[in-house]
C-alpha cells in the first residue's frame, strides 16, 4: 500500500512537471505582425530543428515579411522573380559583426543560411531598397507570430518561469517575466 502510494505520487509529479502550458496575449501600440518568444533559458539548450522555412523574393517583396525561427535553424532564401535580387543583412540583433551578404542567384534557386545567433535579422536587397523582411531568431523553440490585431499564442511551453520578449519592426523590444502554469497571459505595449 505504502509502495503504491509513493508510485502514484511520483507519477503525478512527473505528469505535472512535464505538462505543457501556453502563453497568450496581445501586443499593442504598434500595427501589424509582431514576434513574441521565450528568451534564453539558463542551462537549457535545444536541438536545431530539421525544418527549413523558406523566404521567397517575389514581386519585389520578401514573403513572408517576418519569419520567427529557433536559433540554429537553417532558412532557405528562394528567388521567384525574373529580376535579380540580393539578400543581405547588416546586423543580427544589432550586432554589426554578424552582417552577411548572401549574394545573387537566379530565378527558381534557393540559398540556405543557418542562423546560429539570436536576434532580429533585417533582410535587405541592394537592388531594390524598398524590399524589407525580417528573420527573428529566438533562442528557444517557444515563439509565435501575432496576427494583424496583435494576438498571439505560444503553445507547448513547459511550466516554469521565463522571460518573454516581444519584438516589432521599428519598435523597442519589450521583455517581461512570465510564469507558466497551464495557460498564462502576457500582454505587451510597444512603442517606437
Partner 1 sequence: MDTRHRVSLLFAFILTVVLLTGSSYAIPAFSRQYGTSCSTCHVDFPKLNDFGKAFKDAGFKFPKDDETFIKVPPVMLGAPAQKELWPHTIFPGVIPGLPPISLRFNQFFQVTSNNRNNFNAQLPAGTVGSFIPRTDFQPGLFSIFTGGNFGSDIAFWVDDDISVSGANANGGLGDAYLRFVNVGRFLKMPTDSLTLKVGQFELDLPFTQARGYDISPYDIYTQANIGAVNPAYPQQFVSNSFTLAGPGRGVELSGGHHYGGYRYAIAIVDQNTSGSPPTNYPNVPSGTGGNSGGVGFFSDSNFKDLYGRLAYRFNLERDPASRHEVQAAGATGPRDHTYLTLGTYYLYGRSVQRTSGFLPNGTTATVLTAREPFYRLGGDFDFNYRSLDIYGLYMYGHDNDVLPFIPAGLTGPTGFISGNPATFSGGFIQADYLVYPWMMTILRWDRVGSTADQLNGFLAGSSGAPSTPFFSPFSSVRNRFTPGVQFLIHANIKASFEYQVRPKQVVYAPGTTVQLVSPFRTNTATAALEFVY
- Give least dist CB 62 to partner 1, A: 13
Instruction: Kindly give the pairing relationship between strand 54-58 and strand 61-63.
Output: antiparallel
What does the binding site for partner 1 look like in residue numbers (CB under 8 A)? 58-61, 81-86, 88, 101, 103-104, 125-130
Q: Report in angstroms how near the CB of residue 102 gets to partner 1 at its nearest.
A: 9
Alpha helices by DSSP H, the chain: 2-17
- Tell me whether residue 12 or residue 127 sits nearer to partner 1 (CB atom): 127
CA distances from 97 to 17, 66, 81, 100 (A): 40, 22, 30, 9
Distance CA 93, CA 136 (A): 9
What's the min distance (Å) between Cβ of 32 and partner 1?
17
Mapped onto helix, strand or coil, the DSSP state of residue 11 is helix
**What are phi and psi for residue 7, nearest 5 degrees?**
-65, -40
Which residue reads 508510485 in cell numbers?
7
User: Which one, 129 or 170, has the nearer CB to partner 1?
Assistant: 129
CB of 91 to partner 1, least distance (A): 16
Give bridge partners of residue 74 from the DSSP assignment.
Answer: 114
Judged by CB, which is closer to partner 1: 131, or 166?
Answer: 131
Which is nearer to partner 1, 46 or 105 (by Cβ)? 105
Residues in the chain: 192
CB of 88 to partner 1, least distance (A): 7
Smaller CB separation from partner 1, 76 or 81: 81
C-alpha span between 145 and 53 (Å, rounded): 14
CB of 96 vs partner 1, minimal distance in Å: 16
Among residues 41 and 90, whose Cβ is nearest to partner 1? 90
List Cβ neighbours of 52 (8 Å cut-off, separation of 6 or more): 73, 74, 75, 76, 112
Amino acid at each position: 500500500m505504502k509502495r503504491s502510494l509513493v508510485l502514484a505520487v511520483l507519477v503525478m509529479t512527473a505528469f505535472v512537471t512535464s505538462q505543457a502550458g501556453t502563453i497568450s496575449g496581445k501586443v499593442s501600440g504598434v500595427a501589424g505582425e509582431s514576434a513574441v518568444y521565450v528568451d534564453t533559458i539558463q542551462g537549457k539548450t535545444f536541438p536545431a530543428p530539421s525544418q527549413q522555412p523558406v523566404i521567397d523574393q517575389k514581386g519585389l517583396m520578401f514573403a513572408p515579411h517576418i519569419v520567427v525561427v529557433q536559433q540554429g535553424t537553417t532558412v532557405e532564401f528562394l528567388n521567384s522573380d525574373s529580376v535579380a535580387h540580393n539578400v543581405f543583412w547588416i546586423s543580427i540583433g544589432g550586432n554589426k559583426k554578424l552582417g552577411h551578404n548572401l549574394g545573387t542567384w537566379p530565378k527558381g534557386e534557393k540559398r540556405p543560411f543557418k542562423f546560429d545567433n539570436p536576434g532580429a535579422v533585417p533582410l535587405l536587397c541592394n537592388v531594390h531598397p524598398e524590399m524589407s523582411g525580417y528573420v527573428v531568431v529566438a533562442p528557444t523553440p517557444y515563439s509565435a507570430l501575432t496576427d494583424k490585431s496583435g494576438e498571439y499564442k505560444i503553445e507547448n511551453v513547459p511550466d516554469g518561469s521565463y522571460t518573454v520578449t516581444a519584438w516589432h519592426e521599428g519598435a523597442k523590444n519589450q521583455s517581461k517575466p512570465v510564469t507558466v502554469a497551464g495557460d498564462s497571459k502576457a500582454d505587451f505595449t510597444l512603442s517606437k
